[in-house]
Amino acid sequence: MSELRRTSLFPLYAGYPAVRCIDFGGWELPVQFHGILQEHDAVRKQAGLFDVSHMGEFWVTGQYAETFLQRMTTNDVSRLSAGQAQYTLMCYPNGGVVDDLLVYKLSQDQYLLVVNASNIDKDFAWLSENLIGDVVLENRSEQTALLALQGPMAARILARVTAEQIGKLAPFHFLHQAEVCGRKALVSRTGYTGEDGFELYLDSGDAPHVWRELLRAGEADGLIPTGLGARDTLRFEAKLPLYGQELSKDITPLEAGLGMFVKLGKDGGFIGREALERQKEEGLPRKLVGIELLDRGIPRSHYPVFADGRQIGEVTTGTQSPTLKRNLGLALLETAYAELGTEVEVEIRGKQLRAVVIKAPFYKKTQTTGEGAKP
């Protein structure tokens, strides 16, 4: 067993008696600080602060950076202005997913890619194999910390510790050289919770200071530290995919319902385009849908789903939705069974329990982004 890696914030976790850390892809990370339900609720109603420093950050520099990223990713990088970010995917030639990621455009010849922690090595190798022209790829994951401040109070809290006009930052826009709590940060209006919020990229040495100052600044508004457990239930309710569950080398972005991030018609094409175009023409074999258990039970990842006496798919993620208190799942099902209202069965511990295909996302925020929600 190799030693677990820790983020620069690890020493601060000891201050929380109920903190529980788990091995998350080789990292020792907090699954909860207080309790998953309380943390989930705080992000939906007030605000939560996540340490997601395990995520990977690659810098892509060079005159051909845009051309390179156009070829490597499914979304259209040419639509980005400097100061804008986009959600996108990298695919293999067969259309299966290498990873999902964010691309930040700093300038015409410099981009930041943010990738999943468990895929850092694989992604770096994949990008390196396909480098073109003068493009330089640098892995700065080790030096970079990432804090996510999420929830309806996030903008109001962040405004207290920075002079920047962060309230005016539109979703998927960012400030490159912002100052937050007296430290340099890249601040973007992005997140993985289905709420308004910000992500702060910092030098890892600065992260403990910013973490403490943010918690202090947000205390009156109910800001609490939040762990990966709540991050998972929050992203699940908002139907934001998790690589390894909703996405993998065996699942295409189209099957996962991410067609709006796949620009088949963009100039120059991209790796995987032909396969995805073919899949679109021939019709998708499977679709990612929401399901709700009608019988008593909670669907979980990899539980098989049946209909007409045979297996027609499996659950990718499932839990009892903390916001809705309903037993819900995302499931990848044969297309014939993906219509809303279709009855299926989920096998749970040897029993076939009734479930129905329902609309997902299960949760959409109602508050608008801006200066912060009214209390």
List binding-site positions: 199
Which of these ranges, 64-72, 145-153, 314-322, 361-369, lies near other proteins under the rule CB under 8 A?
314-322
Sequence-ordered strand ranges (E) for the chain: 20-24, 27-32, 47-51, 56-61, 84-91, 97-107, 110-115, 136-139, 144-150, 174-180, 183-188, 197-203, 223-226, 286-293, 304-307, 310-320, 327-334, 343-348, 351-358
Q: Does 299 bind other proteins (CB under 8 A)?
A: no
Cβ partners under 8 Å of residue 313, min gap 6: 286, 304, 305, 331, 332, 333, 334, 337
Bridge partners (DSSP) listed for residue 247: 243
**x-or-dash string of contact with other proteins, 167-206, rule CB under 8 A:** ----------------------------------------
Q: Exactly one of 5, 20, 209, 212 binds other proteins (CB under 8 A); which one?
A: 20
Give the count of beta carbons closer than 10 Å to the beta carbon of residue 338. Answer: 20
CB of 369 to other proteins, least distance (A): 27
Least Å distance, CB 40 to other proteins, is: 8
Q: Which stretch binds other proteins (CB under 8 A): 30-38, 54-62, 79-87, 159-167?
A: 30-38
Interface with other proteins (CB under 8 A), residue total: 19
Q: Which is nearer to other proteins, 36 or 97 (CB)?
A: 36
Instruction: Please give the Cα distance from 167 to 192 (Å, whole number).
Output: 19
Q: Which of 203, 300, 356, 358 binds other proteins (CB under 8 A)?
A: 300
What is the token pair recorded at 188?
Answer: 């973007």
| Minimum CB distance to other proteins, residue 327 (Å) | 8
Pattern of binders to other proteins over 232-261, x per CB under 8 A? xx----------------------------
* Contact region with other proteins (CB under 8 A), list: 94-102, 147-155, 278-286, 317-325: 317-325
Q: Which stretch binds other proteins (CB under 8 A): 72-80, 167-175, 294-302, 337-345?
A: 294-302
Residue number with CB closer to other proteins (95 or 318): 318
Single out the segment in contact with other proteins by CB under 8 A; choices: 62-70, 80-88, 240-248, 296-304: 296-304
Using CB under 8 A as the binding rule, whether residue 48 contacts other proteins is answered as: no
Binding flag, residue 35, other proteins (CB under 8 A): yes
Which DSSP string do the residues of 129-167 spell out, in sequence order? HT--TT-EEEE-TTTEEEEEEESTTHHHHHHTT-SS-GG
Return the residue of 70, 188, 226, 319 that touches other proteins, per CB under 8 A. Answer: 319
Find where tokens 């420093």 sit: 53
Select from 290, 303, 300, 259 the least CA-distant residue to 277: 259
b/e code 7-29 from CB counts within 10 Å (16+ = b): bbbbebbeeeeebebeebeebbb
Report the alpha-carbon distance of residue 270 to residue 91 in Å, rounded. Answer: 8
Minimal distance in Å, beta carbon 344 to other proteins? 20
Report the C-alpha gap between 169 and 39 in whole angstroms: 25
Exposed, middle or buried by CB within 10 Å (0-12, 13-18, 19+), for 370?
exposed
Please, what is the minimum distance in Å from the beta carbon of residue 35 to other proteins? 5
Written as six digits, the tokens of 301 are 């990842």
Asked if 226 interacts with other proteins (CB under 8 A), we say no
Q: Which residues bind other proteins (CB under 8 A)?
A: 20, 31-32, 35-37, 40, 229, 232-233, 296-298, 300, 319-320, 322, 327, 349
